[in-house]
Amino acid sequence: MSKLSDAALKLAVADEGKGEVPKGSNWGDYVKGLLAAVGVGFPAAWCAAFVYAKFMQAASQLKISNPVPRTGGVLAMWNQAKAHRVQGAPQAGDVFIMDFGGGKGHTGIVEAVIGIYVFTIEGNTNDEGSREGFEVARRKRKIADCKGFLRF
């Protein structure tokens, strides 16, 4: 894992439990700040903004540029980061991408890989694993359910 991914993962884990106020609004001070990082000034799905913001904070701490595309769109992130697509098995610090069709996706950061699963920390989810949840939470997802992984 790169120093950048390690730092972003630690920042993401530190935000576990933070989320929307009120629940289900895609808004509140915390979410508003994440969305602002990707140039979105209205309530919107924020999982990609969460990933971008954590990598942005980590890059700032390390005094390096952030290679993660500045977008609130999961599939836009996937399409803009072709050079960072993982060939082979995912690892801790990778960004997972899920594609639900119709332009709908979900993303977060891999904490661990065990067997056929990735254990993740992600924004805009909940204990049920929704892609439209309300908080930062840890999840367990099948690797096969992911479109792919990005490594920064």
116 pLDDT tier (thresholds 50, 70, 90): very high
Q: Residue 88's domain spans which residues?
A: 3-150
Task: For residues 148 and 43, give the distance between their C-alpha atoms in angstroms, rounded to a whole number.
Answer: 27
Listing DSSP states for 38-101 in one string gives TT--S----HHHHHHHHHHHHHHHHTS---S---S-HHHHHHHTGGGB--S---TTPEEEEEEE
Reported as a single tens digit per residue, the pLDDT across 14-36 is 999 999 999 999 999 999 999 99
Backbone angles phi, psi at 74, to 5 degrees: -60, -50
Task: For residues 46 and 33, give the distance between their C-alpha atoms in angstroms, rounded to a whole number.
Answer: 10
- Long-range contacts: 30-39, Cβ < 8 Å, 24+? 34/123, 35/72, 37/70, 38/70, 38/71, 38/72, 39/70, 39/72
CA distances from 22 to 30, 122, 126, 149 (A): 11, 19, 14, 31
Average pLDDT, the chain: 96
- Burial category of 125 from C-beta neighbours within 10 Å (exposed 0-12, middle 13-18, buried 19 and up): buried
Mean pLDDT of 71-79: 98
Domain count, the chain: 1
Amino acid letter for position 55: F
Residue 131, token pair as written in the block: 């892609």
| pLDDT value of residue 132 | 82
Neighbours of 98 (CB within 10 A): 20
Residue 129 predicted with pLDDT over 80: no
Whichever domain contains 32, its CATH number is 3.90.1720
Backbone angles phi, psi at 140, to 5 degrees: -120, 120
